[in-house]
């Protein structure tokens, strides 16, 4: 049995080793990437056990994905090697120094063939936390059915259900995604969303108020909460719905805010030199859920989430920068420190 169980698609990742056009690269770095497996790896590095349910192709790329997760001590014993479809592919380039561009080759491939029959009932029922995202149901009806079955099992067993919106515009339109994402949020105990993603969950048109500038998000010129900050809080409260659900708003460089039964909490981001933003949201979720498993209060959960996210953006790769417990203290060292 695992502390955390998650399910979804993990792809092979090809990354440009330097800034520039992809076509000008003489070589690409090879790895693995997936929102759900990133969270599983992050939780394991912070001291807990995790299992990943998914499908990979019967190919070298699929073998690489499973080997990577096993090396990170994530249980993949119930995952499926699909002989009928190849492993999906993610390509990442840094076109300019502070901009990352990602392309996906996943339609109809192994990860999208995840189905309800792949969900191990005993594994999910024995977990303390089931973690889901809005990416998996976007892959198709079969994958959506797998998520729905996993959530139903977790709810019946009394496990906590975590849901990260993780909206991907390349997979579905807001009109198609919104009702599915709202239903998933309705069955979750903890919902993670970016500021703009709140609009997909909130039926009152939060779009015009979220996604404002960092200055507007925090305070206006009179020192009062900015309109965007007020809009985010109002939308989060509506999504929380007074149903014992906690809504955690991931705000990037502005930190994180949570609204729920325990109240409203804010946590600033940890200032670091950002190298690669991809995977930072998954790192935040992993830190938050590890603190939840610790029994920490809401402020402690946000704090560990922000510290884990700071590590992730400091290193190239989707999961490579995820911290261990020992690593966390390094953020308290001054810039330029040498440890001897």
3-class DSSP state of 266: strand
Which is it for the CA torsion 328, 308, 104, 133, positive or negative?
A: positive
On the question of pLDDT at 224 being above 60, the answer is no
Q: Is 185 or 254 the better-scoring residue by pLDDT? A: 185
Average pLDDT of the residues in 285-305: 97
Residues contacting residue 231 through CB under 8 Å, at least 6 positions apart: 206, 208, 209, 210
3-class DSSP state of 294: helix
pLDDT band at 181 (very low <50, low <70, confident <90, very high): very high
pLDDT band at 253 (very low <50, low <70, confident <90, very high): confident
In this prediction, residue 330 carries a pLDDT of 79
Q: State the chain's mean pLDDT as an integer.
A: 87
Query: Could you tell me the strand order of the sheet in which 4-7 lies?
Result: 50-53, 4-7, 129-133, 160-164, 190-194, 246-250, 256-260, 263-267
Q: How many CB atoms lie within 10 A of CB 295?
A: 7
Average pLDDT of the residues in 256-260: 93
On the question of pLDDT at 218 being above 80, the answer is no
In this prediction, residue 336 carries a pLDDT of 59
Q: Is 123 or 221 the better-scoring residue by pLDDT? A: 123
pLDDT band at 314 (very low <50, low <70, confident <90, very high): confident
User: Catalytic amino acids?
Assistant: 282
CA 303/CA 268 separation, integer angstroms: 8
Which CATH number applies to 35-52+115-326?
A: 3.40.1190.20
Is residue 117 within 8 A of residue 148, CB to CB? The reply is: no
In this prediction, residue 280 carries a pLDDT of 84
The 10s digit of each residue's pLDDT in 32-72 is 999 999 999 999 999 999 999 999 999 999 999 999 999 99
Average pLDDT of the residues in 215-228: 40
Is residue 193 within 8 A of residue 248, CB to CB? The reply is: yes
Average pLDDT of the residues in 285-293: 98
Q: Using a pLDDT cut of 70, give the percent of the chain over it.
A: 86
Give domain limits for the chain. Answer: 35-52+115-326
Per-residue CA distances from 196 to 125, 199, 231, 336 (Å): 33, 6, 11, 35
pLDDT band at 213 (very low <50, low <70, confident <90, very high): very low
Average pLDDT of the residues in 13-28: 91
In this prediction, residue 219 carries a pLDDT of 37
Phi, psi angles (nearest 5°) of residue 171: -95, -35
In this prediction, residue 301 carries a pLDDT of 97
Per-residue CA distances from 223 to 208, 215, 226, 267, 315 (Å): 21, 11, 8, 18, 35
The 10s digit of each residue's pLDDT in 74-119 is 999 999 999 999 999 999 888 887 778 888 999 899 999 999 999 9
CA dihedral 271, 277, 279, 280 (to 10 degrees): 20
The burial of 169, by beta-carbon neighbours within 10 Å (0-12 exposed, 13-18 middle, 19 or more buried), is given as exposed
In this prediction, residue 273 carries a pLDDT of 62
pLDDT band at 221 (very low <50, low <70, confident <90, very high): very low
């Amino acid at each position: 049995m695992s502390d955390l169980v998650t399910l979804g698609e993990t792809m092979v990742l090809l990354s440009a080793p330097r800034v520039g056009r992809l076509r000008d690269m003489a070589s690409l770095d090879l790895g693995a990437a997936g929102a759900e497996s990133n969270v599983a790896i992050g939780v394991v590095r912070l001291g807990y056990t995790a299992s990943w349910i998914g499908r990979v192709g019967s190919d070298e790329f699929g073998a690489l994905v499973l080997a990577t997760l096993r090396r990170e001590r994530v249980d993949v014993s119930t995952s499926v090697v699909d002989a009928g479809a190849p492993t999906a592919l993610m390509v990442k380039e840094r076109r300019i120094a502070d901009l990352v561009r990602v392309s996906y080759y996943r339609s109809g491939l192994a990860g999208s063939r995840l189905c309800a029959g792949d969900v191990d009932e005993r594994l999910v029922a024995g977990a303390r936390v089931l973690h889901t995202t809005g990416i998996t149901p976007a892959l198709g009806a079969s994958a959506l059915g797998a998520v729905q079955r996993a959530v139903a099992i977790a709810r019946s067993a009394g496990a906590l259900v975590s849901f990260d919106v993780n909206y991907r515009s390349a997979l579905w339109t807001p009109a198609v995604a919104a009702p599915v994402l709202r239903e998933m949020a309705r069955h979750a105990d903890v919902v993670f969303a970016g500021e703009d993603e709140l609009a997909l969950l909130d039926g009152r048109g939060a779009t015009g108020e979220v996604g404002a500038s960092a200055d507007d998000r925090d305070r206006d010129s009179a020192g009062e909460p900015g309109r965007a900050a007020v809009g985010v809080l109002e939308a989060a409260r509506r999504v929380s719905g007074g149903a014992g659900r906690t809504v955690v708003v991931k705000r990037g460089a502005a930190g994180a805010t949570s609204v729920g039964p325990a109240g409203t909490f804010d946590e600033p981001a940890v200032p670091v030199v950002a190298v690669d933003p991809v995977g930072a949201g998954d790192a935040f979720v992993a830190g938050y859920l590890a603190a939840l498993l610790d029994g920490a209060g809401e402020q402690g959960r946000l704090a560990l989430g922000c510290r884990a996210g700071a590590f992730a953006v400091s290193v190239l790769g989707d999961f490579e920068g995820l911290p261990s417990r020992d690593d966390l203290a390094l953020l308290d060292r001054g810039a330029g420190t040498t440890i001897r």
